[in-house]
């Protein structure tokens, strides 16, 4: 089950942070991934994640709310949707969500 939480900002918008199992590498689930999304409310934040390709994402409770550094990172990103592979390591940079969902091998279409 995914751990996560949210933080309501003074302007009424929210930042949602969810820790998910990373992309599989064939031998099982990958390293945990921390995903951040900025939206008008929690429902819209989860809808943004589902529209990005993370279909089975739910937020139950507020056990792991975003840290102030995570809030700053997502507010300063133009997409407002970021991820980082190792949540416990603050040295890793944040990446846009399309880098997580991009296939590792390009798809070849028959000519």
| pTM of the full structure | 0.77
pLDDT in tens, 19-71: 887 666 555 566 788 889 999 999 999 999 888 888 778 888 888 999 999 99
**DSSP letters along 10-75, please?**
TTS-EEEEEEEEE---SSS-EEEEEEEEEESSHHHHHHHHHHTT-TT----S-SSPPPHHHHHHHH
Of 31, 5, 1, 2, the closest CA to residue 17 belongs to 5
Above pLDDT 70, what percent of the chain? 74
pLDDT value for 39: 94
Alpha carbon 96 to its chain centroid, in Å, reads 9
pLDDT in tens, 66-93: 999 999 989 998 888 988 876 666 677 7
- 55/58 Cα distance (integer angstroms): 9
- 89/93 Cα distance (integer angstroms): 9
Q: pLDDT class for 8, splitting at 50, 70, 90?
A: very high
pLDDT value for 41: 93
């Amino acid at each position: 089950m995914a751990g996560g939480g949210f933080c309501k900002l003074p302007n009424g918008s929210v930042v949602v942070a969810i820790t998910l199992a990373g992309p599989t590498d064939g031998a099982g689930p990958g390293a945990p991934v921390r995903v951040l999304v900025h939206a008008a409310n929690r429902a819209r934040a989860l809808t943004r994640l589902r529209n990005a390709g993370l279909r089975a994402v739910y937020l139950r409770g507020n056990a792991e709310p975003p840290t102030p550094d995570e809030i700053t990172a997502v507010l300063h990103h133009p997409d407002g949707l970021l991820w980082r592979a190792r949540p416990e390591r603050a040295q890793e940079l944040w990446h846009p969500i399309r880098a997580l969902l991009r296939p590792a091998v390009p798809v070849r279409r028959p000519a």
